[in-house]
């Protein structure tokens, strides 16, 4: 990279199509079994020489630009300081892994590939975000395996409420739940997905009942499956085509919530 040159990368939204909480370690970390996909709805990062972080975009408010930001921590881990412009298009916190995806994107931009333990030190979602395609994520986020999956057409909705992840996990009735069913050889089908869960959805709905309203709106708009992503509050619905997802998103935009049609890969 020459002085004054820039480089750009996309940080896609991470969507937990399933999220089964299967145990808890003695150190307090929860064990997960989750099918993760990534949407064509993205934050945009541009890097150049320097050592400053600036943030713009519709969700710039509230994004720290000091060492609390995972981008700065990721660059320090890689030993490659850069000036970064972050266009924040994804709501936060939202259950979409936005900060982790941003950190992974900047590591890819600077050509850094820290070991898994170092990535986990940034956050449990950072390892899966390093390779933004469909994966099964187990353990505390370090056991990853690619999953064949056709494109899925979805609508994402965030109702604008922030859910503290720790509080959601603390509301679990049990941390010893069954893992996902065996994945079909050709990849997940809608029937298979419908039989899986997000174990964090019930405690999240207790904290933020509006999540139930979002899920009902998605179902009423014709979603084949409606479920919360991650620890919330973003929810997704699946449709059989992008055209139908686009139509549903247009109708659901009238709710006043953040609504985006997307394709998951």
Q: Is 92 annotated as a binding residue?
A: yes
Structure tokens at 102: 């941003």
Catalytic-role residue among 33, 43, 102, 125: 125
Exposure class string for 242-255: b at 16+ Cβ within 10 A, else e: bebbebbbeebeee
Of the candidates 14, 43, 88, 102, the residue annotated as catalytic is: 14
Strand 20-24 and strand 235-239: the pairing is: unpaired
125 is catalytic: yes
Is residue 121 a known part of a binding site? no
The answer on whether 216 is annotated among ligand-binding residues is: no
Active-site residue, 43 included:
no
Known binding residue 95? Answer is: yes
3-state secondary structure 70-115: HHHHHHHHHCCCCEEEEECCCCCCCCCCHHHHHHHHHHHHCCCCCC
CB within 8 A of 224, min separation 6: which ones? 190, 194, 237, 238, 239, 240
Say whether 20 counts as a known binding-site residue.
no
94 is in an annotated binding site: yes
Q: Is 111 marked as binding a ligand?
A: no
261 is in an annotated binding site: no
Residue set of the binding site? 91-101
Residue set of the binding site for ATP? 91-101
Residues annotated catalytic, as ranges: 14, 125
């Amino acid at each position: 990279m020459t002085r004054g040159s820039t480089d750009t990368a996309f940080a896609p939204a991470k969507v937990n199509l399933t999220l089964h909480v299967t145990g808890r370690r003695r150190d307090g970390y929860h064990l997960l079994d989750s099918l993760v996909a990534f949407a064509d709805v993205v934050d945009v990062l541009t890097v150049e020489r320097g050592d400053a972080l600036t943030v713009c975009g519709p969700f710039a408010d509230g994004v720290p630009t000091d060492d609390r930001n995972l981008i700065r921590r990721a660059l320090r881990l890689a030993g490659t300081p850069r000036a970064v412009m972050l266009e924040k298009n994804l709501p936060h916190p939202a259950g979409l892994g936005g900060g982790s995806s941003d950190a992974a994107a900047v590591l890819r931009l600077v050509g850094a590939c820290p070991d898994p333990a170092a990535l986990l030190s940034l956050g449990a979602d950072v390892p899966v975000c390093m390779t933004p395609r469909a994966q099964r994520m187990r353990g505390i986020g370090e056991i990853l395996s690619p999953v064949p999956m056709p494109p899925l057409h979805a609508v994402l909705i965030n109702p604008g409420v922030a859910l503290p992840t720790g509080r959601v996990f603390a509301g679990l009735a049990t941390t010893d739940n069954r893992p996902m069913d065996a994945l079909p050889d050709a990849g997940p089908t809608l029937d298979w997905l419908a039989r899986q869960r997000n174990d964090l959805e019930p405690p999240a709905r207790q904290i933020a009942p509006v999540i139930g309203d979002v899920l009902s709106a998605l179902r009423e708009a014709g979603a084949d499956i409606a479920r919360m992503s991650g620890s919330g509050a973003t929810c997704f619905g699946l449709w059989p085509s992008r055209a139908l997802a686009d139509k549903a998103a247009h109708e659901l935009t009238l709710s006043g919530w953040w609504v985006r049609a997307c394709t998951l890969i």
